[in-house]
Structure 1
Amino acid sequence: MTGHTGDRIALFIDGANLYSAARALNVDLDFRKLSDWFGQKGQLVRAYYYTAIVEGEEFSPVRPLVDWLDYNGFTVTTKPAKRFTDAQGHSRTKGNMDIEIAVDMLELAPRLDHIFLFSGDGDFRRLVEAIQAKGVRVTVVSTTRCQPPQIADELRRQADAFIDLSDVMTHFSKPKTAMNQGVARTLDRSDRT
């Protein structure tokens, strides 16, 4: 991994995108271990987590995760997922957090040396380029070790470095649980585009 132990770093986690990559690798994440592991790579200024939440459900399996993250040092940004019917008449849920991630990254960049972006979304290529123009290194965390790969080629090429989740998951993965599988069903409903 690039960087120096004195670097001021921040984590920007696109929840649905990271979940999708971890699911493709058939692992669950331990966010405390993830935060601790990346915190050893420099001075962890902030760890952000972004996700859309389906409103109106009696129980939202993603809510316990969001609450846990919020109480354990993560800055959590949520918004209601939007329901719509597509052209084929199928009910869909959309919860794109790209703008929120972009605004927070641009605002915090002047106080950082290195950003870790947990997403494979190609829409972030231009954002990464803008952050790099401010003198901040950007490492993208996703995976290429599944079909289809969970990272857009243009994002991987733009980043200063790329970490494949499959190479580091032993540091912050955990056994699958029933709660995690409930979160999985909820996150599957959100559109990552």
Structure 2
Amino acid sequence: MYSAQRVGVFVDAENVRYNGGYQMRYDVLRRFAGRSDGPLQRLNTYLAFDSERAREDYDYAKKSRAYQQMVRDYGWKITVKYVRRYTDENGVVSTKANADLDMAVDAMLQAGKLEQVILVTGDGDFLQVVSALQNGGCRVELIGFKNVSRQLQQQVDAFWSGFLIPDLLPINYEPRNDWGKPGSCVRGVCTKWFPDKGYGFLRFMNHISPNLWVTDPREPDSPYTSVFCHANEVAEDVGEEMLLNRETIFEFYLNESDQKDNGLVANNVRLAFGVNR
């Protein structure tokens, strides 16, 4: 008899925040983690808090605590990492709130009750943790934004760019964005481009689904949608090599096609904000 896999999620919040994932939505992340209906056994996130700053900045203290409460309301266990200050020999002060060790230890200790682990980070220091989890029988997935370790991407069982997961990262200038509907703004990749013809096709994840491996939009159970794109709609700073690189992430608007029933065309296609070029 089939038994849904027990899932554990571990979020390196500071790494995410400094690498393009600022304002990541924990409610959407929870939906993504539970897309296959497996019980969400562990939802752990590691947040930094600057207690010294909080004593002097009431606004910071208030917003930090309100944010922590919101994340808790979504069912997450928060481990607070207090910011520490270090002064070097030249008198330069630096701050640090590293959660790597806590997160690695928790993942290893809790893995015995899990079949699937999702790490949200880009830090290559987790490479050995991933190997150990896999050797213990866990399937390990990775979600990251910018500056994700190449080795880590190759080691995990699946890597998902957080930029491509619907609504995981809000589009700030479209606060009421209805992802995937005509008129909305989405992020996707170029799957085909014909330079001599001046057009190609983009693909985006239409909705969160257990069938993310069905990448052909022509399949009825695929959660992906293909969009026609004319070269005139592509920003000037986007070169042909970028269009032919499946790792380049684009941001674009969707509109209904005048030529094809139920078809979509891409408008104002540009490199996604904050994504490495």
Task: Normalising by structure 2, report the TM-score.
Answer: 0.55
SS of residue paired to 2:94: strand
Who is 1:19 aligned against? 17
Report the alpha carbon displacement of residue 33 of structure 1 after superposing the two structures with TM. 2.1
Q: Counterpart amino acid of 1:86?
A: D
Using CA pairs below 8 Å that are at least 6 residues apart, which structure has the higher relative contact order? 1
Tell me if the contact between 1:83 and 1:94 (Cα under 8 Å) persists in the aligned partners: yes
From 109, 112, 137, the equivalent of 1:110 is: 112
Cα contact 1:22–1:29 (8 A) shared by 2: no
Change over 3 Å in CA distance of 1:45–1:19 after alignment to 2: same
Greater alpha carbon shift after TM alignment, 126-135 vs 154-163:
154-163
Instruction: Identify the residue that residue 39 of structure 1 maps to in structure 2.
Output: 34
Unaligned runs of 5+ in 2: 174-277
Deviates more, 1:120-129 or 1:13-22: 13-22
Deviation at 1:5, TM superposition (A): 8.5
- The Cα shift of 1:6 comes to 1.5
2:137 is paired with a residue of what secondary structure? coil
The letter of the residue matching 2:7 is I
Query: Which residue of the partner structure matches residue 99 of structure 1?
Result: 101
Q: Sequence identity of aligned pairs in percent? A: 27
CA distance in 2: counterparts of 1:52 and 1:173, whole angstroms:
20
CA distance in 1, matches of 2:168, 2:91: 40
Aligned residues: 165
| Cα distance in 2 for residues equivalent to 1:44 and 1:120 | 22
| RMSD of Structure 2 on Structure 1 (CA) | 2.2
Alignment equivalent of 1:10, drawn from 8, 13, 28:
8
Confirm whether residue 153 of structure 1 aligns to residue 133 of structure 2: no
| Cα pair 1:13 1:119 within 8 Å, conserved | yes
CA deviations 1:99-153 (Å, max 9, x no partner) are: 110111011111111111000101100111111110001111113xxxxx42112
Aligned ranges for residues 34-183 of structure 1 at < 5 Å? 34-41=29-36, 42-56=38-52, 57=54, 58-59=57-58, 60=61, 61-143=63-145, 149-168=146-165, 170-176=166-172
* In structure 2, distance between residues paired with 1:63 and 1:91: 25
Q: Give the C-alpha shift of residue 88 in structure 1.
A: 4.3
Q: Which has the larger Rg? A: 2
